[in-house]
């Protein structure tokens, strides 16, 4: 389901930065989609893209194992932009030369624009950009102009204006590239002739019309468990089909403090939805009582959810559709236990499957979902059970729930909520208290801030705030012994070493 037929496809050669590019293009109001490098020219043609971006990769184009696109894609007469490895793919295909620099160029670099083109239209002669490569273009293909260079990269951008083919060695999608958005706008709007119709307002209007046309007079069931995407989907479906929507709120006992009440109140009072509320805490705890590994917890929660929904659907003979809140980023639909609709005997409806989480939040604001719902921390499919090391029971969930509520209060009290990308608590394995008299629970506090599009690290929190958090949790939550603050650099930042050592990302 997409707003307008405009589309940019990004051929994913294996770098995580291609996902960043996908989100960036959408932020510039053009729908974008990642596709496999094995996609055929015929498949690309059937997608009818306005433009193609050849993405980044950790590989070198001159090795046998490196991914390559279908050569026939170059015959489709569609505007193309190669980024980093993608530039080298274009160069190699058209007869230019790529070699190993023997010295990686990684980080902030200044490029100088040597020749004007549509791609650099309106940009200054000198631009700060983000580079991440070990290979580089040694010789541009015949018929291509060299547009820019940097101290370590004599050919930092090329173009064949007549063929609408462009290539750049740097990453315009990264925040460090100062005029990256302007360059991408030039590609999207001047070169690919897009008009910027990918907005959540357009998506909402088109989705409502499509849902109405698909569902007609039939009824839809939607399980809601407090997560943002299921609440936004409920609001969207209710706008389209009103009382034909049956909302099933299943209280599994694994949600955060006050979350069940907040969820049902919003849906019932703001949107006037009819909600079936089921208290299933005991059944979920029963299924989880001997489970210690997170993957097995997911399976236990999923199986119980399936049992409950199957039971309820069997009693509702008028239900014909199951609504899934699966998103574009939910790979292999693993977050949707009913991805095979035969499990319920219902047809499947997936209105949000083309959206990223940030777009779901934006859609929610247009649908008037309250900010306190949209801005809350994401929670895994297993809820608080996924933040408990070892076995899960009601006591341990309650300890974690109260600890996390204190953390949330203190974060907001200190005005840190906008600084932090994530903040949460983890219940560690029980230990003897400091007197050695009884078992108690240690709590681990994690607070993570975003550095840029690809980097996260632990937040530097004032000592006074940490003291209040630790003191309150240890004093106010029964059976908590020690409170730890995790100062380990988040694994997301450790990948930067791998990034800097890869030929092209």
Q: 6, 105, 153, 173: which is the annotated catalytic residue? A: 173
Q: What three-state secondary structure class fits 98?
A: strand
Strand ranges in 308-383 using DSSP code E only, listed in sequence order: 319-323, 347-349
Q: Do 119 and 183 contact (CB within 8 A), yes or no?
A: yes
Distance CA 68, CA 193 (A): 27
SS3 287: helix
424 token code pair: 């949460």
Active site residue 173: yes
Alpha carbon separation from 458 to 324, 420, 423, 425, 486 (Å, rounded): 34, 9, 10, 13, 8
Catalytic residue at 262?
Answer: no
Q: Which helix (H) or strand (E) holds 229?
A: helix 228-241
DSSP H helices in 242-393: 259-265, 281-288, 294-314, 357-366, 371-374
Cβ burial 351-367 (10 Å sphere, 16+ → b, else e): bbbbbbbebbbbbbebb
- Token readout for 439 is 């078992």
Integer Cα distance of 432 and 437 in angstroms: 7
Annotated catalytic residue within 6, 84, 105, 153 = 84
Exposed (0-12), middle (13-18) or buried (19+): which is 201, by Cβ within 10 Å? exposed
| SS3 (DSSP) at 143 | coil
Residues taking part in catalysis:
84, 173
């Amino acid at each position: 389901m997409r707003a307008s037929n405009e589309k940019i496809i990004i051929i994913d050669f294996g770098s995580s930065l291609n996902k960043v590019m996908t989100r960036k293009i959408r932020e510039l109001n053009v729908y974008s989609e990642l596709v496999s490098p094995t996609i055929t020219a015929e498949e690309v043609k059937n997608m009818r893209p306005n433009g193609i971006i050849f993405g980044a990769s950790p590989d070198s184009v001159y090795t046998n194992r490196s991914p390559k696109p279908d050569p026939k894609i170059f015959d489709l007469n569609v505007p193309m932009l190669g980024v980093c490895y993608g530039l080298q793919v274009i160069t190699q295909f058209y007869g230019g030369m790529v070699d190993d620099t023997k010295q990686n160029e990684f980080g902030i670099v200044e490029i100088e624009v040597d020749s004007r083109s549509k791609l650099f239209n309106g940009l200054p002669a000198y631009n700060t950009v983000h580079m991440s490569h070990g290979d580089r273009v040694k010789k541009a293909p015949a018929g291509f102009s060299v547009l820019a260079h940097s101290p370590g990269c004599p050919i930092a951008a090329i173009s064949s204006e007549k063929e609408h083919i462009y290539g750049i060695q740097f990453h315009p999608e990264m925040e460090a590239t100062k005029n990256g958005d302007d360059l991408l706008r030039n590609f999207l709007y001047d070169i690919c002739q897009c008009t910027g119709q990918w907005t959540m307002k357009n998506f909402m209007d088109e989705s409502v019309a499509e849902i109405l046309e698909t569902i007609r007079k039939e009824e839809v069931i939607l399980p809601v468990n407090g997560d943002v995407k299921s609440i936004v989907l409920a609001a969207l479906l209710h706008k389209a089909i009103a009382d034909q929507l049956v909302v099933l709120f299943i209280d599994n006992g694994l949600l955060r403090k006050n979350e069940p009440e907040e969820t049902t109140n919003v849906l019932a009072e703001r949107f006037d939805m009819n909600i079936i509320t089921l208290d299933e805490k005991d059944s979920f705890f029963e299924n989880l009582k001997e489970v210690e590994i997170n993957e097995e917890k997911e399976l236990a929660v999923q199986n119980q959810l399936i049992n409950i929904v199957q039971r309820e659907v069997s009693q509702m003979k008028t239900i014909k559709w199951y609504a899934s809140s699966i998103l574009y980023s939910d790979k292999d639909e693993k977050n949707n236990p009913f991805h095979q609709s035969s499990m319920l005997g219902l047809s499947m409806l997936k209105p949000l499957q083309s959206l990223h989480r940030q777009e779901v939040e934006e859609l929610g604001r247009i649908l008037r979902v309250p900010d306190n719902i949209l801005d809350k921390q994401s929670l895994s499919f297993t809820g608080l059970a996924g933040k408990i090391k070892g076995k899960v029971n009601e006591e341990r969930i309650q300890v974690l729930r109260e600890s996390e509520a204190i953390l949330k209060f203190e974060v907001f009290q200190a005005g840190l909520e906008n600084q932090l990308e994530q903040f949460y608590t983890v219940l560690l394995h029980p230990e003897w208290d400091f007197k050695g008299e009884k078992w108690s629970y240690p709590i681990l506090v994690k607070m993570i801030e975003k550095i840029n599009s690809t980097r996260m690290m632990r937040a530097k929190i004032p000592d006074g705030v940490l003291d209040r958090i630790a003191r309150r949790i240890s004093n106010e939550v029964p059976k908590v012994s020690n409170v730890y603050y995790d100062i380990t650099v988040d694994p997301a930042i450790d990948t930067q070493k791998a990034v800097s050592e890869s030929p092209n990302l």
